[in-house]
Structure 1
């Protein structure tokens, strides 16, 4: 019984890793990259900026946004009011405009976790 559970978990991990690697290759081939920026929200109240505010920062500099999402930065924070909530906005943009986005305070978003 334990071996079956272990095999199922192993296959699930391989599937996730395989999909994320494929996703990275698609971005390289398509000439697009993902950049991210904190929404600057805090726990118990201040939600910070919304994704549209950050998107407009890019669009004001004529950076085309192909897709957008809100996710976690993956870091751990103490659960206490006033601490950061770790939410970030992730945008898919043209690789040629990556340097412009970085000048605006965006960071290259890693599409795979090592």
Structure 2
């Protein structure tokens, strides 16, 4: 009886594992990034740059579900005029990947 129960539990778990596939349908989402191009000691507002990039995506009929400022996780020399590593991060639908890549965006890496 116990062996029979273990068998059914194992089969149920294997059946569920088969359902765990990576979805690339039109309703799945991706995170994309693009450098804000901001510099150290600059008066350029990173939030303003983020909103400008978001507006450009929306003008291209790409719905932005979330937007935030992140960092590229690289070391940058501390020097006025040098890059500060700030980047725009957007959540968009997976089916827009080709369009956003043509606009200069990249898929967000797991370590960013």
- Give structure 2 stretches of 5+ with no counterpart: 1-19
Change in CA separation of 1:90 and 1:28 when aligned onto 2, cut-off 3 Å: farther
For residues 36-51 of structure 1, what are the structure 2 equivalents within 5 Å? 36-47=33-44, 50-51=49-50
Shift of 1:28: 5.2
In structure 2, the residue matched to 1:108 is 107
Instruction: Report how many residues are paired.
Output: 87
Change in CA separation of 1:43 and 1:34 when aligned onto 2, cut-off 3 Å: same
In structure 1, the residue matched to 2:81 is 82
Shift of 1:75: 0.8
- Residues 1:58 and 2:57 aligned together: yes
Cα RMSD, aligned residues only:
2.1
In structure 1, the residue matched to 2:97 is 98
In structure 2, the residue matched to 1:13 is none
Give me the TM-score of the superposition, normalised by structure 1: 0.69
- Give structure 1 stretches of 5+ with no counterpart: 1-24
More helix by share: 1
In structure 1, the residue matched to 2:11 is none
1: CA distance between counterparts of 2:62 and 2:90? 11
2: CA distance between counterparts of 1:103 and 1:28? 23
1:36 counterpart SS class = strand
Change in CA separation of 1:103 and 1:80 when aligned onto 2, cut-off 3 Å: same
